[in-house]
Amino acid sequence: MFKNVNIDDFEFLKVIGKGHFGKVSQVRFLRDKQIYALKSLKKSKLYEEKDLQYTKSERKILALLNHPFIIKLRFAFQNLKKLYFVMDYYNGGELFYHMKRQEIFTESEAKFYISQVVLAIEFLHSKKIIYRDLKPENIILDKYGYIKLTDFGLAKVENDKDTVANTLCGTTDYLSPEVIKGEIYGKPVDIWCIGILQYEMLFGIVRNHLL
């Protein structure tokens, strides 16, 4: 395992995604020449939006996870201006892209993807983690077409003192009734999202707005 990893250990190849807090880049790790995805987050934005707690939670959760259908965190470090997460890079694209391009999946195709999503969510729930943001944009594919669940910024760890949540968060068309009503909720909200995801695979994506 490599120690004392910092941003100078990486060669930036290209930007593969941008967001409000930062960006995701394809990089080469100079010590072993492996290709990774590097997520960089601006500390100033996180402090400004009071979202630092979500980033800390994401870092903690990613360190706990080791599953074939969930993205793997390889390194995490920071400097004065940014936080960095280094994860495995997959070139199959977002599931959202494939759903938009193909419009409707066959039943066998939908089963193939949903079965993997179910296994990933089942694993998270076994670790007392509520994912809370399941959507095709947060699912990427590897070169063989298998899924990798990514982006754990809204995930929440249950514990003895806090076994439920009531925060309104996620993607509008994927929100369960209890989340919309502001009621307390738990792991079943992820099951609701699986149902919506499967419906969109079989009948097409019709949403056009995000929360």
How many angstroms separate the CA atoms of 211 and 200, rounded? 18
Label residue 19 by pLDDT band (50, 70, 90): confident
Residue 211 banded pLDDT, cuts 50, 70, 90: very low
Q: What is the pLDDT of residue 166?
A: 66
Q: Mark whether 133 is an active-site residue.
A: yes
pLDDT greater at residue 193 or residue 208: 193
Q: Which residue has the higher pLDDT, 78 or 22?
A: 78
Mean pLDDT across 114-130:
96
- Distinct helix (H) and strand (E) counts, the chain: 6, 9
Of the residues 9, 133, 160, 173, only one is catalytic, namely 133
Domains present along the chain, CATH in parentheses? 7-88 (3.30.200.20), 95-203 (1.10.510.10)
Q: What angle do CA 25, 31, 35 make, to 5 degrees?
A: 35
pLDDT in tens, 53-85: 788 888 999 998 999 999 999 999 999 999 999
pLDDT band at 46 (very low <50, low <70, confident <90, very high): confident
pTM of the model: 0.87
Predicted local distance difference test score (pLDDT) of residue 56: 85
Q: Residue 169's closest CA among 70, 67, 58?
A: 58
